[in-house]
Amino acid sequence: MEKPNLQDKRRVLIASANPLYGKGLEKLLAQKAAGVAYEIRIASTMAETLNMLEEWRPDLVIVDYDDQTIDRNQFLNQFIVGDRAMQVMLVSLKASGAAVVYDRRTLSPDQTQDWLQLPIDSQPLQSRAHSQRSEGMKHFIIVAVLVAISTVLVNLLLQSIGLLPVEASTQAAIIDRLFDTHFLVISFLFSLIVVFLVYSLIVFRRRKDGDQEGKFFKGSTRLEVLWTILPLVTVIYFSYLGSLSLAETRKVDPQALEVKVIGRQWSWTFEYPEFGIVSDTLQLPVNRQVLLKMTSEDVIHSFWVPEFRVKQDLLPGENLVKELRITPTIIGSYKVRCAELCGTLHAYMESPVVVVSDADFQAWVDEEVKLLNADPATRGERVSKQNGCLACHSVDGTRLVGPSWLGLYESQRELADGTTVVADDAYLLNSIIKPNVQVVAGYPPGVMPQSYVDSLSETQLSDIIAFIKTLK
């Protein structure tokens, strides 16, 4: 008689604290083996049963249904976790009814001895496990290929629909490389979720003729470790890339052009100390680094030109001057916007940004210097625009935040306290430097900035009044 192959030996675990139950089944199994090699072990406690279930990995487990020391619910909860091939049979020698097999096969009590004749499986345990792993690996390979294809397509879509404006500075090029990496990771994560979801809905959907329960599992330590470590490494890597980008955007050029930026509700002013120019337009030479020294006269503002990518908050206070470095690379016209909610006209706090060649920039400087010697009314109009006066006071009679300047000079003005005053030079000067003293009726106090007494020179104040006199 040929000896059975030890590799095909079936492992049977009998879980019962009743020694007669265990020995009886062991003897019965030996008698009914019919040439099949069995390795039989008996566990008499719940802890011993669970330990053998996990370490010894039996093919078949026979549980004494009548044994109160064996917690059947706890046993089954442990049994259904894992992917190895195994059967469990709950056998009662007292109760009538069916002997319950975990794979839904049932036997009546008078057929209990016949369960030994049922094949545990036509394949050895190692072959079954290998087959299951092969089937699972096939699905993972298919999904991996689909995820890779989807990642490429989604990334191409994100790159092609123009999510970012034109790259118009050296700093923008550095930051866009980081954006591109973000888009790639976003594409991968989107594909990973959607492909797994759609593939599972299609491939593992319940068939019309299917009545089998899905495999239950409650956790995977390996998967939990994986999805903890990978996001951590990814975040650390992006932090490293961010630090490199920050270092690149803050590189210092000793020949940088210095421009002072002043933000206020709701306008921008740009001063060029090297030339003595003050403008409401940010004029920049191409391919030359510009050092912006920024402050606010009232609330927090935020300097942002989308095409340059970089952004910086402006804080009120003489000791809170912020710096930002920009190197424009494309000649053209852009807009600086306030990216920090700063009041009712926040959406309209914009100023032109013009990038020109070195020759055109020098021509603009020369023209601005000449205008410094223009007549007072012309200078006053420029100072009014540069300091945001015309954002609140119209010159055509339109009602804005403050009274219109059209026909203002030498007119009768009714004040909030019920008195009347003539809008002469003294009144206009007092309204600029002390705006809350004589408030015009119908307009709220505390809106106009009170910083002009320090930010405007006597000449600039006189020029503004001269400009108002011309608006008749």
Q: Which amino acid is at 245?
A: S
Is 205 a residue whose pLDDT tops 70? yes
Is 183 a residue whose pLDDT tops 90? yes
Is 53 a residue whose pLDDT tops 50? yes
Residue at token pair 């959406």: 347
Residue at token pair 């003595």: 276
Query: What's the length of the chain?
Result: 472
Cα–Cα distances (Å) from 330 to 163, 168, 174, 288, in that order, read 19, 5, 15, 11
Question: Checking DSSP bridges between strand 322-326 and strand 290-296, what pairing results, if any?
Answer: antiparallel
Output the pLDDT for position 122.
40
Q: How many CA atoms lie within 13 A of 407 on its CB side?
A: 6
- Asked whether the CA dihedral 286, 287, 288, 290 is positive or negative, the reply is positive
Is 168 a residue whose pLDDT tops 90? yes
> Mean pLDDT throughout 20-47?
78
Percent of the chain clearing pLDDT 90 (strictly above): 33
* Residue, of 205 and 253, whose pLDDT is higher: 253
What's the pLDDT tens digit per position in 224-251?
898 899 999 999 999 998 998 888 888 8
Give the span between the Cα atoms of 72 and 64, in whole angstroms: 9
Q: Which of 159, 165, 206 has the alpha carbon at shortest distance from 180?
A: 159
Q: Which of 294, 361, 358, 357 has the alpha carbon at shortest distance from 322?
A: 294
Q: Which of 256, 290, 467, 272 has the alpha carbon at shortest distance from 364?
A: 272
Is 216 a residue whose pLDDT tops 80? no
Percent of the chain clearing pLDDT 70 (strictly above): 82
Q: Which amino acid is at 307?
A: E
Q: List the single range of 135-144, 145-154, 329-338, 344-353 with lowest mean pLDDT.
A: 135-144
Give the span between the Cα atoms of 43 and 45, in whole angstroms: 6
Output the pLDDT for position 131.
56
What's the pLDDT tens digit per position in 355-412?
999 999 999 998 888 877 778 888 888 888 878 888 889 999 888 888 999 988 889 9
What is the SS3 assignment for 165? coil
> Mean pLDDT throughout 116-128?
45
Output the pLDDT for position 147.
94
Instruction: List the helix and strand counts (H, then E) for the chain.
Output: 11, 18
Starting at the edge strand found earlier in the chain, the sheet holding 290-296 runs: 277-279, 267-272, 257-264, 290-296, 322-326
What distance lies between CA 346 and its chain's CA centroid?
A: 26
Give the span between the Cα atoms of 90 and 72, in whole angstroms: 9
Q: Report residue 189's pLDDT band, with 50, 70 and 90 as the boundaries.
A: very high
* Residue, of 373 and 216, whose pLDDT is higher: 373
Give the span between the Cα atoms of 188 and 71, in whole angstroms: 46
What is the SS3 assignment for 397? coil
What's the pLDDT tens digit per position in 272-309?
999 888 888 999 999 999 999 999 988 999 999 999 99
Give the span between the Cα atoms of 131 and 122, in whole angstroms: 13
Residue at token pair 């062991």: 26
Neighbour tally for 371: CB within 10 Å: 11
Host H or E run for residue 141: helix 125-160
Give the span between the Cα atoms of 53 and 49, in whole angstroms: 6
Give the span between the Cα atoms of 399 and 401, in whole angstroms: 7
Cα–Cα distances (Å) from 471 to 22, 48, 404, in that order, read 111, 100, 10
Q: 277 phi and psi, to 5 degrees? A: -100, 140
Question: Checking DSSP bridges between strand 87-91 and strand 60-64, what pairing results, if any?
Answer: parallel
What's the pLDDT tens digit per position in 432-458?
988 888 889 988 888 888 778 777 778
Radius of gyration of the chain, Cα coordinates, nearest whole angstrom:
41
Neighbour tally for 323: CB within 10 Å: 12
Q: Which amino acid is at 396?
A: D
Output the pLDDT for position 93.
67
Which domains does the chain show, CATH number per domain? 9-122 (3.40.50.2300), 130-249 (no CATH), 257-371 (2.60.40.420), 376-469 (1.10.760.10)
DSSP 280: S
> Mean pLDDT throughout 102-127?
42
Cα–Cα distances (Å) from 449 to 250, 263, 341, 400, in that order, read 33, 12, 17, 15
Q: Report residue 217's pLDDT band, with 50, 70 and 90 as the boundaries.
A: low
139, 277 contact by CB (below 8 A):
no
> Mean pLDDT throughout 112-135?
48
Is 115 a residue whose pLDDT tops 50? no
Output the pLDDT for position 213.
63
Output the pLDDT for position 58.
83
